Amino acid sequence: MRNLSLLLLLLLLSSCYNRTQEAGLYEVNDNFVVTADTMHLQMQQPMHNMPMASSVFPDSIFMLRGEELVIAQTAVIPEDSVDSVWVKVARDQQLMGWIHEQDLLSSVVPNDPISRFIYLFSLRHLPFFVCLIVLALALLLVRHVRHAHSRVFLLNDIASVYPTLFMVVLGGAAVLYAHIQRFEPDMWVRFYFHPTLNPFSLPLMLGIFVLLFWLLLILFLAAVDEVFSQLSFAEALFYLLTLLGMSMCLYTLFTMAAFYWAGIILYFVFALVALVRFFLYFRPRYLCGRCGSKMHSLGTEPALLCGHIFFCIFDWMFLRKCLIL
């Protein structure tokens, strides 16, 4: 509950960070970071009625990956058949030049932490996901060979609903993200150039997506707290690695499948199966009277911190208080 209260406070404070949504993708004085290896600039200002063959000048300069720049000026040259919009950018007082808008936007990322995270995640998430999934499967196999009763999400889960809720919400966020990409791509582009963590200042679908992001963060921290309170350090690390591997696998699956209506049906089937399976087989019905461990059934339970046999004496809401024999 302390973690939940802290994160709700963080969400409230984050609503103060809100950039006004602009009609365009950028404006003068906006800051960017170069992502291309080199970005060529033209020092001479493009002019009207200039032959297109002479629009490339030998006095070009270039900027390198990682350098920051600011938008200084824009100009529209209708005679330019390649791109009529030219943008003047500057690194400092000594280095500035002109570039086609389409070349600029393909070579830079907004100098905002949210935009840079979106860029890195969209560019490199697939190799990272594959490595994490392979690592999780390898650990799962090794752990299964050495310990037949290892805790694994959905198969031999812990007595906590937070990992299940985390996976269900993650799947919902993946489906919604794919829906936005398919039906509202311009909305996502505007969010990329003018991001905010305040869900209440965004269009409905984007606002729900940001709310799901905050909910995922809360559920993941709650799940980590539960895992380390119920398992040993080594078992907790193994459980979390397999949980992350499965979550990346599900995220990739639902992101790709949600472009088709069958993917949405698949998500609801998964959510229903995961929730029903948890409440039938892993829901904590009992508490150990000595160590407070959450248990699903009575009897000898090796996962108890105290390792004793216990029995039920009275009901208390959804949990039953138990004493040690």
pLDDT tens by residue, 110-155 = 999 999 988 887 776 666 666 666 666 666 666 654 555 677 777 7
Task: Say what the pTM is.
Answer: 0.76
Q: How confident is the model at residue 252 (pLDDT cuts 50, 70, 90)?
A: confident
Grouping H, G, I as helix, E, B as strand and the rest as coil, residue 288 is coil
Give the span between the Cα atoms of 136 and 248, in whole angstroms.
10
Give the helix/strand (H/E) hosting 39: strand 38-42
Mean pLDDT, range 177-194, rounded to an integer: 91
Report residue 56 as tokens. 């490339």
Judge whether 243 and 223 are in contact, CB under 8 Å: yes
What is the per-residue pLDDT across 280-294, written as a single tens digit (0 to 9) for each?
A: 887 776 666 566 666
DSSP type of residue 46: P
The domain limits of the chain are: 31-110, 113-279, 294-324
What is the per-residue pLDDT across 41-84, written as a single tens digit (0 to 9) for each?
A: 988 888 766 555 444 455 788 899 999 999 999 999 888 888 88
**Strands of 60-64's sheet in order across:** 60-64, 38-42, 96-100, 85-90, 68-76, 31-34, 108-110
Q: Looking at the predicted structure, is the pLDDT value of residue 88 above 80?
A: yes
Give the span between the Cα atoms of 242 and 193, in whole angstroms.
34
Cα angle at 245 between 243 and 249, to 5 degrees? 115
The amino acid occupying position 227 is V
**Residue 54: its pLDDT value, please?**
45
**Residue 147: its pLDDT value, please?**
59
**Residue 96: its pLDDT value, please?**
92
Give the span between the Cα atoms of 288 and 129, in whole angstroms.
38
CATH T-level fold of 31-110: SH3 type barrels. (2.30.30)
